[in-house]
């Protein structure tokens, strides 16, 4: 991770951490009083054009516990009097329930209307009139060394419209941005993002975007220049987005450019998309860019600055160095595809505080409730909701509630108090014993409880209360730091909170927030490819190579999900046909069935449903595979279950799954690239060589066969190379003689036949590999639950006794499968 901090983690606690880091950086430089006499007038003129922005952070930030104090904030600049505000894209992307506060304290609900991540700029709209729009400078007027001021909302929302003063430290900087930036030493801190960098005329010269945050580094901030801001705003106004030209190639900077030296070689073409404008114009890999139009380009920032002067559909002359020859190519530009902006709002409405009006909190499933002070923050909660923790926003106390089942209501007061004291000491005493300050059984007509108050060394004080109710122990523990516990006023508030705990939950009480997570319904799963669907909450998730698996509680039903990239020219029908043929190749015809593909719709696109069934000879498995292609990815959802499973429960499962399948591009991992579908490359006859140096043999087996240690360098005495319904096993023994090995095998075969007359075997003497004497055992067991045939060879080579077994189930005994097994055995060679 680099050092460029754009403050994309914007929650309450992330900002607190950022504050601790920034506070180590030291104060901003002082300026002579005479140099700053104009600053107050400039700020008075400009500050009304700067607003503070606050909202709920993106759902994608999984590190933040969702509560009323998890808020993100930044700054914005008014560009139109009717409530159009420019800010950073990273401030409002994914932000929900946006609230804008002007310099005079007026509050408005807002929404992000346009977002452009490439430039890190966005627009927010509020319903207002008569606002004071900012005046924008011209980039050509910006001078290094001139005095500037940054206006924003650093660290805390309570510090909105704070001002810091500095100078322009540098221009045309290219750091962590698609475009050039202004460097300034005016203090820019978390929350300043999206605010104004102004000159001493009160004109905006840039939009603050980032700072360099590292201990020992001071006053290194950056702003987006006003000409880039104007460029983006113009596109927002004309097109609703930034229309970026598309060439269809990847460019690579020289080593000099990467480290910041002047580059003499320019940009190398690392890749050209075959169907792109660049390819049509004849630009090739390893060409070097010289200029775009009249603009010289030697860095990626140079390239982006030059190309932004053109629109998709326009022609541009690109000068390149191809080998030793300078060439000019005329390119008709395409257009970069972009995602649409989505305005997000919580289900609760536009309130910034989702718990607005909630004065109590509780769990409807476990049947408890208590008061909900404004400073109480819900922390971790168990999957079933039988344990939950809370902290105080000011850090004064923590509270936990846990429920233990399978206890008796007949537990005596003495036993209850002893239990609470023991739990209290285990949880909070650490290495030293807790000192009990109070212990009593509090008798009440309803809900009597045991109470333990103890001091835990220097850590603080713990009060534990235990309630017995309907075979459960409800344990409430409050931990208070030492400095706050001895404050009588605060003690009263703590006791009031504990006294409010009740073993009841009033579902009709609108002021009561329900935090129950217990569910007998469905759970929605979303993977990194944006695929989501719902399954019964009783199902559990597993994993396998290339995807995810889900199982019901007894593992008889399963769902496997796989996502890969769609290759150029591939179609839904061709893909489903390939998968069907692979399945059919696994089994002999009488051991499998495949239905004709059924056309359906999933995730809003055409899909194919292919039903199937297979067996190895005992029980039949059934299921179907769902195939669909969306946003350049192929999604396969395979459902499997015993063929005898029928009825309402299975029908409901299939209906729930198919009706809830969705693909959301915004939920995709942004770092995803091309994911090759390995089935497209699979050759079932391609082999790999395994060598066993210790036991002096080598064998060629199909690449798609598996074994726990088949292809490593460990020389094990027994190796099993397996495939669906069969295997090749090679055993090697340096101690047993050929005769002893045969006697042992004959005894084992005879015992199996004596135990079950349907188990049939014959033995014969054969010659292998032209000159090796061997004993061969042919086994068939047609009446087994899974009928199979097996051939065993015993022979000696290089004073090593080999025991080789070829086994294949009747269900997979196709000509192709059997030939691969025989071919693998015949490939066996012996090392010297």
Least confident of 259-268, 335-344, 410-419, 644-653: 335-344
Q: Judge whether residue 104 has pLDDT over 60.
A: yes
- The length of the chain is 832
Nearest to 825 by CA among 733, 687, 707: 687
Burial of 272 (0-12, 13-18, 19+ CB in 10 A): buried
Q: Is position 174 within any domain?
A: yes
pLDDT digits (tens, 9 = 90+) for 141-168: 888 888 899 998 887 777 778 888 888 8
Is 459 in contact with 482 (CB distance < 8 Å)? yes
Mean pLDDT: which of 89-98, 225-234, 244-253, 271-280 is highest? 225-234
Please give the residue that has the higher pLDDT: either 339 or 298: 298
Nearest to 244 by CA among 179, 193, 297: 179
Mean pLDDT over 247-262 rounds to: 73
Pair of tokens at residue 692: 């066993």
DSSP secondary structure code for residue 686 in this structure: -
CA distance 459 to 436: 14
Nearest to 236 by CA among 125, 146, 129: 125
In the residue annotation, 193 being an active-site residue is answered as yes
Same domain, 250 and 149: no
Same domain, 625 and 729: no
DSSP string covering 42-91, please?
HHHHHGGGEEEEEEEPPTT-TTS--STT--EEEEEEEEETTTEEEE-HHH
Pair of tokens at residue 756: 């079950």
**Residue 637 structural domain:** 522-679
pLDDT number for residue 828? 96
Q: How far is CA 481 from CA 380, 391, 458, 756, in A?
A: 20, 12, 9, 74
Residue labelled with tokens 């399954």:
535
Same domain, 499 and 448: yes
CA distance 102 to 160: 9
Question: Which neighbouring-strand residues pair with 96?
Answer: 56, 344
Burial of 686 (0-12, 13-18, 19+ CB in 10 A): exposed
Question: Which neighbouring-strand residues pair with 742?
Answer: none
Q: What angle do CA 823, 827, 832 make, to 5 degrees?
A: 170
Nearest to 549 by CA among 259, 541, 210, 706: 541
Q: Which phi and psi (to 5°) does residue 300 adopt? A: -65, -35
Please give the residue that has the higher pLDDT: either 517 or 217: 517
Pair of tokens at residue 489: 């006023």
pLDDT digits (tens, 9 = 90+) for 768-783: 999 999 999 999 998 8
DSSP secondary structure code for residue 586 in this structure: H
CA distance 825 to 807: 11
Q: Judge whether residue 29 has pLDDT over 50.
A: no
Same domain, 11 and 112: yes
Q: Could you count the other beta carbons within 10 Å of the beta carbon of residue 631?
A: 14
CA distance 462 to 456: 7
Mean pLDDT: which of 100-109, 276-285, 796-805 is highest? 796-805
* Active-site choice (47, 49, 58, 90): 90
Q: Is position 407 within any domain?
A: yes
Nearest to 479 by CA among 388, 374, 399, 379: 399
Residue labelled with tokens 């627009």:
123
Same domain, 267 and 409: no
Please give the residue that has the higher pLDDT: either 616 or 346: 616
CA distance 381 to 518: 11
Same domain, 299 and 232: no
Same domain, 326 and 373: no
* Active-site choice (120, 386, 423, 809): 120
In the residue annotation, 90 being an active-site residue is answered as yes
Q: How far is CA 611 from CA 201, 588, 621, 650, in A?
A: 73, 17, 11, 15
Q: Is position 345 within any domain?
A: no
Nearest to 235 by CA among 338, 358, 162: 338
Is 660 in contact with 532 (CB distance < 8 Å)? yes
pLDDT digits (tens, 9 = 90+) for 371-389: 998 888 888 888 778 899 9
Same domain, 205 and 328: no
Number of domains comprising the chain:
5
Q: What angle do CA 67, 69, 75 make, to 5 degrees?
A: 125
Residue labelled with tokens 């001078």:
143
CA distance 152 to 146: 20
pLDDT number for residue 785? 87
Q: Is position 516 within any domain?
A: no
* Active-site choice (47, 119, 193, 710): 193
Q: Judge whether residue 352 has pLDDT over 80.
A: no
Give the CATH number for residue 79.
2.40.10.120
pLDDT digits (tens, 9 = 90+) for 693-731: 999 999 999 998 987 544 455 678 999 999 999 999 999
**Cβ contacts of residue 651 below 8 Å, gap of 6+?**
none
Q: Judge whether residue 628 has pLDDT over 90.
A: yes
pLDDT number for residue 62? 43
pLDDT number for residue 8? 33
pLDDT number for residue 714? 64
Please give the residue that has the higher pLDDT: either 671 or 762: 762
Q: Is position 465 within any domain?
A: yes
Is 92 in contact with 124 (CB distance < 8 Å)? yes
Q: Is 491 helix (H, G, I), strand (E, B) or coil?
A: helix
CA distance 485 to 456: 12
> DSSP E strands: which ranges in 293-392?
295-296, 315-322, 325-332, 334-335, 360-363, 368-371, 376-381, 387-392
Pair of tokens at residue 516: 């129950």
Q: Which of 508, 531, 557 is the last residue of a domain?
A: 508
Same domain, 637 and 709: no
Is 334 in contact with 276 (CB distance < 8 Å)? yes
Same domain, 80 and 198: yes
pLDDT number for residue 543? 60
Residue labelled with tokens 């075969």:
749
CA distance 514 to 358: 10
Q: Which of 624, 653, 679 is the last residue of a domain?
A: 679
pLDDT number for residue 300? 81
String of b and e for 522-543 (b: at least 16 CB within 10 Å)?
Answer: beebebebbbbbbbbeebeeee
Mean pLDDT over 126-136 rounds to: 92
Q: What are the residue ranges of helices labelled H in 191-254? A: 226-239
Q: Could you count the other beta carbons within 10 Å of the beta carbon of residue 451?
A: 18
Q: What are the residue ranges of helices labelled H in 637-692? A: 648-660, 678-681
pLDDT number for residue 249? 81
Same domain, 749 and 796: yes
Give the CATH number for residue 453.
3.40.1000.10
Same domain, 322 and 371: no
Q: What angle do CA 809, 815, 818 make, to 5 degrees?
A: 50
Nearest to 477 by CA among 394, 389, 416, 371: 389
Q: Is position 808 within any domain?
A: yes
Q: Which of 224, 239, 254 is the last residue of a domain?
A: 239
Is 752 in contact with 760 (CB distance < 8 Å)? no
| pLDDT averaged over every residue in the chain | 83
Give the CATH number for residue 323.
2.30.42.10
pLDDT number for residue 422? 78
Q: Is position 350 within any domain?
A: no
**Cβ contacts of residue 422 below 8 Å, gap of 6+?**
none
Q: What angle do CA 503, 506, 510 make, to 5 degrees?
A: 135
Q: What is the pTM of this model?
A: 0.55
- Proportion of the chain above pLDDT 70, given as a percent: 86
Mean pLDDT over 492-519 rounds to: 88
């Amino acid at each position: 991770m680099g050092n460029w901090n754009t403050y994309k983690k914007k929650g309450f606690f992330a900002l607190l951490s950022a504050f601790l880091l920034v506070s180590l950086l030291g104060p901003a430089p002082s300026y002579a009083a005479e140099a700053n006499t104009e600053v107050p007038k400039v700020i008075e003129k400009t500050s009304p054009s700067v607003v503070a922005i606050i909202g709920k952070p993106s759902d994608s930030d999984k590190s933040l516990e969702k509560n009323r104090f998890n808020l993100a904030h930044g700054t914005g600049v008014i560009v139109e009097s009717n409530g159009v505000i420019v800010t950073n894209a990273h401030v409002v992307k994914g932000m929900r329930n946006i609230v804008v506060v002007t310099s005079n304290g007026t509050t408005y609900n807002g929404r992000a209307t346009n977002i452009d991540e490439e430039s890190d700029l966005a627009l927010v709209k509020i319903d207002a009139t008569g606002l004071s729009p900012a005046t924008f400078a011209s980039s050509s007027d910006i001078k290094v060394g001139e005095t500037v001021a940054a206006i924003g909302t650093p660290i805390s929302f309570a510090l909105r419209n704070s001002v810091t003063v500095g100078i322009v430290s540098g221009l045309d900087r290219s750091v962590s941005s698609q475009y050039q930036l202004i460097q300034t030493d005016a203090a820019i801190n978390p929350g300043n993002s999206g605010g104004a960098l102004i000159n001493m005329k009160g004109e905006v010269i840039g939009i603050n975007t980032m700072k360099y945050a590292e201990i020992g580094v001071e006053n290194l901030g950056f702003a987006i220049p006003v000409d880039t801001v104007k460029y983006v705003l113009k596109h927002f106004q004309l097109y609703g987005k930034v229309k970026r030209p598309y060439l269809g190639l990847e460019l690579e900077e020289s080593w000099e450019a990467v480290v910041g030296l002047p580059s003499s070689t320019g940009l190398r073409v690392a890749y050209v998309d075959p169907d792109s404008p660049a390819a049509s114009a004849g630009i090739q890999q390893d060409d070097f860019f010289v200029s775009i139009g009249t603009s010289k380009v030697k860095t990626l920032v140079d390239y982006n600055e030059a190309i932004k002067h053109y629109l998709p559909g326009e022609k541009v002359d690109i000068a390149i160095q191809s080998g030793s020859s300078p060439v000019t190519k005329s390119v008709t530009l395409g257009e970069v595809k972009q995602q649409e902006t989505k305005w997000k709002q919580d289900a609760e409405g536009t309130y910034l505080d989702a718990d607005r009006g909630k004065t109590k909190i509780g769990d409807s499933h476990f049947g408890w409730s208590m008061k909900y002070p404004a400073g109480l923050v819900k922390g971790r909660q168990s999957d079933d909701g039988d344990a939950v923790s809370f902290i105080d926003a000011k850090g004064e106390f923590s509270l936990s509630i846990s429920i233990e089942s399978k206890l008796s209501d007949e537990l005596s007061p003495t036993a209850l108090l002893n239990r609470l004291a023991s739990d209290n000491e285990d949880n909070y005493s650490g290495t030293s014993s807790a000192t009990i300050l109070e212990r009593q059984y509090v008798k009440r007509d309803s809900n009597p409880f045991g109470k333990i108050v103890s001091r835990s060394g220097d850590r603080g004080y713990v009060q534990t209360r235990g309630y017995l109710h309907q075979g459960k122990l409800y344990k409430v523990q409050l931990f208070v730091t030492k400095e706050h516990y001895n404050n009588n006023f605060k003690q009263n508030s703590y006791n009031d909170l504990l006294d409010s705990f009740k073993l009841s939950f009033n579902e009709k009480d609108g002021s009561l927030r329900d935090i129950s997570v217990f569910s007998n319904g469905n759970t929605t799963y979303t993977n990194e490819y944006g695929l989501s669907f719902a399954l019964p909450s009783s199902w559990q998730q597993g994993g396998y190579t290339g995807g995810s698996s889900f199982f019901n509680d007894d593992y008889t039903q399963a769902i496997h999900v796989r996502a890969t990239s769609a290759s150029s020219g591939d179609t839904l029908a061709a893909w489903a046909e390939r998968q069907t043929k692979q399945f059919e190749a696994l089994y002999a015809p009488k051991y499998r069935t495949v239905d004709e593909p059924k056309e359906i719709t999933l995730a809003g696109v055409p899909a194919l449903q292919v039903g199937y069934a297979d067996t190895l000879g005992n029980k039949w498995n059934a299921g179907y595979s769902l195939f669909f292609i969306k946003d350049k990815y192929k999604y396969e959802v395979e459902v499997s279950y015993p063929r005898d499973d029928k009825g309402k429960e299975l029908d409901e499962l299939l209906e729930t799954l198919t009706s809830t399948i969705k693909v959301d591009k915004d939920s995709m991992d942004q770092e995803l690239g091309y994911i090759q579908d390995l089935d497209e490359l699979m050759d079932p006859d391609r082999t790999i060589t395994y060598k066993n140096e210790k036991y002096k043999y080598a064998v060629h087996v199909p690449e798609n066969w598996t074994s726990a240690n088949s292809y490593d360098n460990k020389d094990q005495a027994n190796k099993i190379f397996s495939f669906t319904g069969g295997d090749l096993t090679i055993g090697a023994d340096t101690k047993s003689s050929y005769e002893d090995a045969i006697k042992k095998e004959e005894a084992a075969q005879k015992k199996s036949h004596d135990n079950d007359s349907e188990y049939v075997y014959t033995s014969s003497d054969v010659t292998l590999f032209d000159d090796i004497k061997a004993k061969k055992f042919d086994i068939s067991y047609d009446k087994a639950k899974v009928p199979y045939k097996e051939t065993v060879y015993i022979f000696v080579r290089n004073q090593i006794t080999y025991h080789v077994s070829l086994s294949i189930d009747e269900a997979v005994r196709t000509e192709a499968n059997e030939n691969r097994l025989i071919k693998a055995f015949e490939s066996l060679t012996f090392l010297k």
